[in-house]
Each structure stands twice: as C-alpha cells, then as structure tokens.
Amino acid sequence: MKKLLLLLAILSSAILLKAQKVDSIFFHLYTDSLKKGTHNYINVDGKLSNGRWKPLTDREIQFISSACEFSGNELIVPADFKGEKITVKAVLKNDPAIWKETTIWIKKLPDPELPGKDEIMNNRPKRKERKR
C-alpha cells in the first residue's frame, strides 16, 4: 500500500512539473530605450507549457549583454556610456536551447523637465460645480 501511494505521489509530481515547464521566453520591455546613469529593468517572461505566463528573474535566466553589467534583472548603464545600443541575450538556465536576443537603443534626448508643484496647482482644470 505504501509503495502504491509513493508511486502515485511521484507520478502526480511529474505531471505537475511537466505542466510548469517553460516552453519559450520573451522580452516584455517597459520602455523602447535604455537610460544612461540608471538601472534599466529587463523584463523577461516565460510561456509555460500550459499556456500561462511566468515572470522570470536571474534565478531562471542568465543575462548576457554586449556592454555594461547586470545586477539581477537590471542592466546598469553608466552615465558616461558612449555606445548607441546594447544587445541583450536571455538564456534559460535549465534549458540553454531556449533563449532570446534583442537590441535596445540608448536614449539620446534628455527627459523633459517635470512641472513643479506650483505650476501643477495653478494650471489644473477647474472642477465642474455639482448640482445638489
């Protein structure tokens, strides 16, 4: 009886593990360019064999870049970086045959200056009067 229960437990574990296998990976970047002087989060998601998506971290993915260094999922681009683009490759650690590569350009234009508190408060649209 114990052997039968053990066999069933092993079989059900194998089925669950197979359902959680990553079939493919994809970059789902939050931006279209990298910013100098910041940590740029590189989002990689795995599509599981059951059709669901799973966010992947550096525990599951090996990150490789043509320039700069990774810290976890963050590509650190120094403020004095001179390149125009960086190629990033993500390789699934438990199955290196599954990988993706993308080229991400470096942002050239500075971010627009954000309005100050006074500017926001003075330019806000007037509220409509409520009828009571």
Nearest to 94 by CA among 62, 53, 50, 48: 62
Could you give the CA distance from residue 84 to residue 99 in angstroms, rounded to a whole number?
Answer: 23
Reported as a single tens digit per residue, the pLDDT across 18-39 is: 557 999 999 999 888 999 999 9
Give Cβ neighbours of residue 18 (< 8 Å, ≥ 6 apart).
49
pLDDT at 132 over 60: no
What pLDDT is stored for residue 120 in this prediction? 84
Question: What are the strands, taking DSSP E only, across the chain?
Answer: 22-27, 33-34, 38-41, 44-48, 53-56, 61-65, 69-71, 74-77, 85-92, 99-106
What pLDDT is stored for residue 5 in this prediction? 67
Residue 5 vs residue 57, higher pLDDT = 57
Structural domains present in the chain: 18-109 (2.60.40.1930)
Q: How many CB atoms lie within 10 A of CB 34?
A: 22
Reported as a single tens digit per residue, the pLDDT across 72-92 is: 999 999 999 999 999 999 999
Q: What is the DSSP letter of 22?
A: E
Q: What percent of the chain has pLDDT over 90?
A: 64
Q: What is the pTM of this model?
A: 0.70
Residue 41 vs residue 9, higher pLDDT = 41
pLDDT at 14 over 70: no
Reported as a single tens digit per residue, the pLDDT across 96-118 is: 999 999 999 999 888 788 888 88
Mean pLDDT over 35-62 rounds to 96
Could you give the CA distance from residue 104 to residue 34 in angstroms, rounded to a whole number?
Answer: 7
